[in-house]
Amino acid sequence: MMSAGTADVIPLGQDRPETYTDAVEAYLRSAGIAASSRRIYRISLLSWTWLVAGQQPPLGRDRRGAAAPTVAFAALGQAATAEVLAHAFSQRARLVDADTVNRELSVMNAAIVWWRARGWLAGNPITGIERRPAPPDRTRALSREQIATLFDLQAGLRERTLWKALYETCARAEEILCLDIEDLLLADKRGRVTSKGGTIEWVHWQSGTAQLLPRLLKGRTRGPVFLADRRAPAHLPSRDVCPVTGRARLSYRRAAELFETLTRPLAHPGITELNARGGWTLHQLRHSALTHEAEDGTNTPTLLARSRHASVRSLERYARPGVDAVAAHVAARDPLRRGNRGRA
């Protein structure tokens, strides 16, 4: 009996795109990738354009607007390409973190499976390239005092709303940035997000976010919640454009860049020369919120529901009490502390 995977195979070369970029777009359109994930998938897949050409993708701000080399999709089937990719990937693994290159490798593997099923590719040019060992997640939770200082920071309404929403919902930054106004139930303080794997889930916020959102929306009833400062380019999908203002959805890269820049003084108090120093990351808001809830005694099932992790093991890195919480715990049990002396 012919398997489903075999039955779907199209003769090699039939309707195959001319360029690698076209093949990427075909995969993103037709492979069932959730709309909220397409941007990350596109960035990951287009990074390989440079690698196929034996080059390295620009890093940091240099990546924005950089024109990738034009690569023929047929080049992926050439014997020499595998060697070029292996060498270029090993160089990239020395330049960026393990999570980034592992994500790019995983996304590329998935795309290659799809391309091969369509008959566009006979072999696998990244066979033999292995995932890099990722260091343990040591993302440092911010203290409650630091969170309070952050929310007192003089920043724009958009930034303050985003930061409050990330902390109060314990959500991933990509999920909140992909929110559309139609996803919001303002009266119920909740919103519908597309989580990892395309699952539709709900996130819940508190009064801080509830007070800021109506001011941010200014009566808008459709389109992205968080908007960029500039009008959207002509090629942007309509779901990422505000029908009222014509502005584009705020990108993760820009939101992260602004947060990192604005929080440098908070991350390095008393330091005047901050250009060479980094600030905080958006992920630290999610990490901090879950850590603070764990410190407050929130039970494991509720923490799992708040984080929307599938297993307790995935939650462990967030439920590590902070330094202040540990200090308070030890002090509260000091036998010489007033109130404990009778029990000493």
Please give the full DSSP string across 233-297, using - where no structure is assigned: PTTS-GGGB-TTT-EEEPPHHHHHHHHHHHTHHHHSTT-S--TTS----THHHHHHHHHHHHHTT
Q: Is the pLDDT of residue 340 over 60?
A: no
- Of 28-42, 80-94, 191-205, 227-241, the one with minimum mean pLDDT is 28-42
**Of the segments 51-65, 179-193, 258-272, 308-322, which one has the largest average pLDDT value?**
179-193
| pLDDT, position 178 | 94
**Which residues have CB under 8 Å from 332's CB, separation 6+?**
none
What's the mean pLDDT when you consider all of the chain?
85
Number of domains in the chain: 2
Residue 93 sits in the same domain as residue 220: no
* Domain assignment of residue 128, yes or no: no
Distance CA(211)–CA(151), nearest Å, equals 14
Q: For the segment 127-137, what is each residue's pLDDT rounded down to a tens digit?
A: 989 988 866 55
Provide the residue range defining the domain that includes 216: 144-328
| % of the chain beyond a pLDDT of 90 | 54
Residues 77 and 184 in one domain: no
Residue 303: the pLDDT is 86
Structural domain contains residue 123: no
Please report which confidence band the pLDDT of residue 91 belongs to, taking 50, 70 and 90 as the band edges. very high
**Is residue 231 a part of any domain in this protein?**
yes
Question: Which of 117, 135, 170 is the last residue in one of the domains?
Answer: 117
For the chain, the 3-state helix, strand and coil shares in percent, each to the nearest 5, are 55, 5, 40
Residue 336 binned pLDDT confidence (cut-offs 50, 70, 90) = confident
- Same-domain pairing of 253 and 297: yes
**Cβ contacts of residue 45 below 8 Å, gap of 6+?**
24, 27, 28, 104, 107, 108, 111
Q: Which of 117, 133, 155 is the last residue of a domain?
A: 117
Quick one: 198 and 93 in the same domain?
no
What is the structure's pLDDT at 337? 67
Q: Are residues 112 and 151 in the same domain?
A: no
Question: What pLDDT, on the 0 to 100 scale, is given for residue 341?
Answer: 54
Give the pLDDT band of residue 311 (cuts 50, 70, 90): confident
CA distances to 61, 149, 157 from 260, rounded to whole Å, are 13, 15, 17
| Residue among 272, 315, 311 nearest 293 (CA) | 315
Q: Does 105 lie in the same domain as 158?
A: no
Q: C-alpha distances in angstroms, 89 versus 40, 105, 112?
A: 18, 9, 16
Say yes or no: 316 and 174 in one domain. yes
193 with 322, same domain? yes
Model pLDDT, residue 339: 60
Lowest mean pLDDT segment, chosen from 92-101, 131-140, 172-181: 131-140
**Same domain (yes/no): 183, 323:** yes
Please check the confidence at residue 3 and state whether its pLDDT lies above 70: no
Is the pLDDT at 2 greater than 60? The verdict is no
* DSSP code, position 3: -
> Does 190 reside within a domain?
yes
* Residue closest to 121 by CA, chosen among 110, 130, 131: 110
Average pLDDT over residues 304-311: 82
The answer to whether residues 98 and 148 belong to one domain is no
Question: What is the CATH number for 272?
Answer: 1.10.443.10
- Which candidate, 198, 226, 201, 148, places its Cα nearest to that of 35? 198
Read off the pLDDT band of 7 (50, 70, 90): very low
- Structural domain contains residue 125: no
pLDDT (mean) for 233-253 = 91
The pLDDT of residue 115 is above 70: yes
The verdict on residue 78 lying in a domain is yes
Q: What is the pLDDT of residues 19-76, one digit of tens each?
A: 999 999 999 988 888 776 788 888 899 999 999 999 999 887 777 778 889 999 999 9
Domain final residue pick, 102, 117, 132: 117
In a domain, 37, yes or no: yes
pLDDT digits (tens, 9 = 90+) for 258-297: 999 999 999 888 776 766 678 899 999 999 999 999 888 8
Query: Is residue 191 domain-shared with residue 105, that is, in the same domain?
Result: no
Together in a domain, 249 and 164: yes
Residue 62 in domain? yes
Please say whether the beta carbons of 243 and 253 come within 8 A: no
